[in-house]
Amino acid sequence: MPAGHVLVALFIGLVVAALLNAQGMHKQALAQGPGIGRDIAGTLTAGLAGVSGIFQIDQPRKLLKAALGRSGDDKLVGKLAITAKGPKAPAAPTKPVYSAAKPMGLYLTGDSLITDPGPVLLDKISTNPAIKPLGVTDAHAATGLVQPEIFNWFDYLPQQIKALRPDMTVATFGANDGLGFTGVAGAEEFGTPAWLAEYARRVAGVMDSITAKGGQLVMLGLPIPSDPALAARWAKMNEIQKSEAEKRKGLVAYVDLFDKLKDAKGNYADFLPDASGQLQRARSSDGIHYEPLGATIVTDAIIDAINELATVPGLGAQPAAPPGAAPVAR
């Protein structure tokens, strides 16, 4: 085939693919962070999706998606189904008591930051008859509350809570939320008063939907990351999570992972002392996720928080990490 024909064939192929996939591309374009790239991609793909829709070119994709039972994949998120009803007052007066006869249904969910502590926690409680894990760790990496286009927690969580009826949920959100809001309704840069208010509304919505059926929630704050700029963003988001958790005292316990994962000098550290005082790698090379020791520290903090909310036989308070070991520079 002559090179000129190759170029034309390639161009035709990409245009055909773009028209057939226009709905999915438009959704993906809107899922980008605010900025000129998102604006251009959003406008271009909106036009493409319009043309595709008018001439019914989007039908093969729709039919194929329907045949696979995934018709909702391309649906754009308009108004969020946030069920925040505000904090319940008074908070749960007494701690629920669980036993082998009445085990605590435990549900673990969130973004990738639950991926490492989840299995460690499930392993630790695997022989405790007073705790019944509800499935495995329900992690959805690269998701959060800011980009429902990528994964809509506001639709997903109420369905999960209704289906599983957990007594205790351990959740973490926010690692992918240090961005501006996006969506069909427009975009808002991170950190503006409007952003902070909307994020608080979303965090409250998540907390209320998890506790709506009477369950309790351990809300894991974001761990201190290695990047100072990211740490500043996450500190703001942690403030919101902590504040919303305090409004729901007795139902929601907030776990401060900035403190738990700092070194003796109060800074981010890749290496932290383990239970015997030996320095071990606690954080992944990305400065965000956990190595086994980090996951264990988080797990111990979760167990403490569960004990704060409920009485579970055999789930003793966790020993504090030995203090004062010298930090190791990154």
Partner 1 sequence: MLFPTVTFAIFFLIVLPLNWLTMHNPRNWRIMMLVASYLFYAWWDPWLVLLLAGSTLFNQLIAVRIFKAGAPRARKALLWVGIAGNLAFLGWFKYWNFFAGSAQDAAGTLGIQLDPGFVAVVLPVGISFYTFMALSYIIDTWRGTYEPVSLSRFAVFLSFFPHLVAGPIVRPAELIPQFDNPPDPREVDATRGFALILGGLFLKVVLASTCAKLVDPVFGSPKLHSAPEVLLAIYAYAVQIFADFAGYSTIAIGVALLLGFRFPDNFNSPYRATSVQDFWRRWHMTLSRWLRDYLYIPLGGNRGSRFETERNLMLTMVIGGLWHGANWTFLFWGALHGSALIVERLARGRRTAAGKPPMRKWLAWLITFNFVCFAWIFFRAETFGQALSVIERLFTGWGQGSPAISLGVLAAVATGIGIQFLPVNFWADFQARVSRFPYYAQGAAAGFLLMVINVLGPAGVAPFIYFQF
Which residues of the shown chain bind partner 1 in the complex (CB under 8 A)? Answer: 1-21, 24-25, 60-61, 64-65, 68, 73, 115, 118-119, 122-123, 126, 133, 136-137, 141-142, 226, 270-271, 278-279, 281, 285-287, 292, 328-330
Nearest distance in Å: CB 128, partner 1? 14
DSSP characters over 84-130: -----SSPPSS--B--SSSPEEEEEEESGGGTTHHHHHHHHTTT-TT
Nearest distance in Å: CB 97, partner 1? 26
When the beta carbons of 120 and 252 are compared against partner 1, the nearer one is: 120
CB 240 within 8 A of CB 200: yes
DSSP state of 330: -
Q: Is 234 exposed, middle or buried (0-12, 13-18, 19+ CB in 10 A)?
A: buried
Nearest distance in Å: CB 219, partner 1? 22
H helices of the chain, in order, are 3-20, 22-30, 36-54, 59-67, 117-124, 153-164, 193-211, 228-246, 257-260, 292-309
- Name the residue among 283, 222, 209 with its Cα closest to residue 256: 222
When the beta carbons of 25 and 220 are compared against partner 1, the nearer one is: 25
When the beta carbons of 159 and 192 are compared against partner 1, the nearer one is: 159
- Name the residue among 226, 217, 207, 140 with its Cα closest to residue 176: 140
When the beta carbons of 119 and 191 are compared against partner 1, the nearer one is: 119
Q: What is the distance between the terminal CA atoms of the chain, rounded to a whole angstrom?
A: 55
When the beta carbons of 53 and 60 are compared against partner 1, the nearer one is: 60
Nearest distance in Å: CB 91, partner 1? 32
When the beta carbons of 182 and 238 are compared against partner 1, the nearer one is: 182
174: left (phi over 0), alpha (psi -120 to 50) or beta: left
- Name the residue among 171, 153, 166 with its Cα closest to residue 82: 153
The total of other beta-carbon atoms located within 10 Å of residue 174's CB is: 24
Tokens for 303, please give them. 């167990």
When the beta carbons of 151 and 181 are compared against partner 1, the nearer one is: 151
Nearest distance in Å: CB 82, partner 1? 22
